[in-house]
Amino acid sequence: MELNHIMRQSKFTRNSLFEQGYLDEQFTQLEDLQDDANPNFVKEIVTLFFSDSTRLIRNVETALESYPLDFCKLDDYMHQFMGSSSSIGAKKVKEECTQFQECCKARNGQGCIRAFQRVKQEHATLKRKLETYFQILKQGAKTSKVE
Amino acid sequence: MGVIAIQETPLHVLAVDDSNIDRKLIERLLKTYSYHVTAVDSGSKALEFLGLQDVENFQSFSSNQETDVNLIITDYCMPGMTGFELLRKIKESKSLKDIPVVIMSSDNIPARISRCLEEGAQEFFLKPVRLSDVDKLRPYLSKNERKTTNDDDDDDNDDGDDDVEGWSDEDEQGRSDEDERGQAVSMDQSS
């Protein structure tokens, strides 16, 4: 009984991540790559993304403190950020990165700072939501072993 | 029937990408097809692995050293040496020029795509790369391709144009290196 509840919960959580636009099709691609031989692929690559992107965020923060702003460098960081967001299907994060890049192109420093706040926000939100999701999955895996 | 050595060893793909996420992804994608994968994070490491020294005009290559790489798949935007520059070096090398090279990029820039294809890339994949893309590699990695005296299969990829996904004439996104010069601008950013 408990397993059914957990399964429903994980399905619901997963669906809302897609419906609310946090994740896109690419995440499904990652799930398809997970199998018995690679049982933790999704979690591993997502974990890699968050450790990588945390580093990038720090770099951007440092770059935003310099004067004058090096838009080329900022754009470059965002390009990397966008690339890895895209690779894991982090839809909203990717969208905010695009906004940031637009501000870089326009050499709009204030715009960059604002856009970056949104990038960080979406990044943090996604991290929280995926952590919750993985917790549920883990619970499901444990419970199914017991039953 | 000609003599074709039966290869027990799996086909070997060299993947080049400075992003560790993308390396993990491409490696996993390639392994679903049971390819043996070597993943490196730069063009110079790729050349080193292939047996070419990354010295500007160093063309000589020890003929004793044979590389068993059957295909190279590389990101375009990398610090130091771009994927285009790597492609060029491979095509300029007597011993490596017949190895099919595939370029990946997160940017949909028509000028970039045609430049790579003109330089000899077999395919150009837009990131994120998917299983359906890796599926397109099979003709380049079929056992028949492993003959070193390959006559008809490693020249122009005539039917490859339709494999370029989403190729449009839209404005460039993000990267500022594209211009009329038919050569890659050295990407000295940290991408």
Q: Does the distance separating the beta carbons of A80 and B190 come in below 8 Å? A: yes
Cα–Cα nearest to B26, from B16, A128, B34, A44: B16
The answer to whether residue B63 scores a pLDDT higher than 50 is no
Residue B141: what pLDDT?
82
Residues from chain A that touch B21, judged by Cβ atoms under 8 A, are: 45, 48-49, 52, 83-84, 87-88
Residue B161: what pLDDT?
42
Provide the whole-model pTM: 0.81
A112 — pLDDT class (breaks 50, 70, 90): very high
Q: How far apart are CA B144 and CA B188, in angstroms?
A: 39
Mean predicted lDDT score pLDDT of chain A: 95
Q: Which residues contact B4 (CB under 8 A, 6 or more apart)?
A: B143, B144, B147
Residue B100: what pLDDT?
97
Residue B159: what pLDDT?
44
Q: How far apart are CA B98 and CA B118, in angstroms?
A: 15
**Chain A interface includes B190 (CB < 8 A):** yes
Query: Is A10:A78 a contact under the CB 8 Å cutoff?
Result: no
Percent of chain B residues topping a pLDDT of 90: 59
**Chain B interface includes A102 (CB < 8 A):** no
B6 — pLDDT class (breaks 50, 70, 90): low
Lay out the sheet containing B12-16: strands in order across.
B36-40, B12-16, B71-75, B101-105, B123-126
Residues from chain A that touch B189, judged by Cβ atoms under 8 A, are: 72-73, 76
| CATH code: domain of residue A48 | 1.20.120.160
The answer to whether residue B143 scores a pLDDT higher than 80 is no
Q: How far apart are CA B90 and CA B50, in angstroms?
A: 9
The answer to whether residue A102 scores a pLDDT higher than 50 is yes
Q: How far apart are CA B189 and CA B191, in angstroms?
A: 6
B166 — pLDDT class (breaks 50, 70, 90): very low
Q: Does the distance separating the beta carbons of A45 and B128 come in below 8 Å? A: no
Mean predicted lDDT score pLDDT of chain B: 77
Best mutation target, A27, A33, A58, to test chain B (most B CBs within 10 A): A33
Residue position matching structure tokens 């390959």: B150
The answer to whether residue A85 scores a pLDDT higher than 70 is yes
Best mutation target, B21, B34, B76, to test chain A (most A CBs within 10 A): B21
Q: Which domain holds residue A142?
A: 2-146
Query: Is B98:B71 a contact under the CB 8 Å cutoff?
Result: no
pLDDT, tens digit, for every residue of B14-48?
999 999 999 999 999 999 999 999 999 999 999 99
Residue A20: what pLDDT?
97
The answer to whether residue B56 scores a pLDDT higher than 70 is no
Residue position matching structure tokens 């003959």: B147
Dump the DSSP string for chain A.
-HHHHHHHHHHHHHHHHHHTTSB-HHHHHHHHT--SSSTTHHHHHHHHHHHHHHHHHHHHHHHHHSSS--HHHHHHHHHHHHHHHHHHTBHHHHHHHHHHHHHHHTT-HHHHHHHHHHHHHHHHHHHHHHHHHHHHHHHHHHHHHH-
Angle at B89 between CA B84 and CA B95, to 5 degrees: 135
Query: Is B77:B191 a contact under the CB 8 Å cutoff?
Result: yes
Q: How far apart are CA A84 and CA B106, in angstroms?
A: 10
Residue B96: what pLDDT?
94
Query: Is A97:A103 a contact under the CB 8 Å cutoff?
Result: no
Rounded alpha-carbon distances, angstroms, from residue B93 to A61, B106, B115 = 43, 27, 19
Q: How far apart are CA A120 and CA B101, in angstroms?
A: 37
Residue B59: what pLDDT?
53
Helices of type H across chain B: 20-31, 43-50, 83-92, 110-118, 131-135
Nearest to A75 among B19, B106, B174 (CB): B174
The answer to whether residue B153 scores a pLDDT higher than 60 is no
The token duo for B126 is 């837009």
Query: Is A116:A56 a contact under the CB 8 Å cutoff?
Result: no
Residue B181: what pLDDT?
40
Tell which phi-psi region holds residue B26, choosing left (phi > 0), alpha (psi between -120 and 50) or beta. Answer: alpha
Residues from chain A that touch B130, judged by Cβ atoms under 8 A, are: 29
Residue B189: what pLDDT?
42
Structural domains of chain B, with CATH: 12-142 (3.40.50.2300)
Number of domains in chain A: 1
SS3 state of residue B111 = helix
